[in-house]
Amino acid sequence: MIYSQTHSDTVHLWLAAAAPQAGGAPAEQGAEPKVETRSLRVLIVEDEFYISLHTRGLLEALGHVVVAVAVAADQAVSLAEREHPDVVLMDIRLIGSRDGIGAADEIAGRLGIGSIFVTANTDAQTRRRAEAIQPLGFLEKPLTEQRLRLGLSKLVA
What pLDDT sits at residue 15? 42
CA 101 to chain CA mean position, Å: 15
- Residue 21 to residue 26: CA distance in whole angstroms: 7
Tell me the pLDDT band of 49, cut-offs 50, 70 and 90: very high
Q: pLDDT of 29-39, one tens digit each?
A: 455 445 546 89
**CB-side neighbour CA atoms (13 Å) of 89:** 33
- Residue 142 to residue 3: CA distance in whole angstroms: 21
All domains of the chain in start order, with CATH? 38-145 (3.40.50.2300)
The overall average pLDDT reported for the chain is: 84
Whether omega before 85 lies within 30 degrees of 0, making that bond cis, reads no
User: What's the DSSP call for residue 28?
Assistant: G
pLDDT at 20 over 60: no
Tell me the pLDDT band of 156, cut-offs 50, 70 and 90: confident
- Residue 63 to residue 47: CA distance in whole angstroms: 23
What pLDDT sits at residue 37? 64
What pLDDT sits at residue 122? 75
Give one DSSP letter per residue of 36-61, joined into a string. P-PPPEEEEE-SSHHHHHHHHHHHHH
pLDDT at 53 over 80: yes
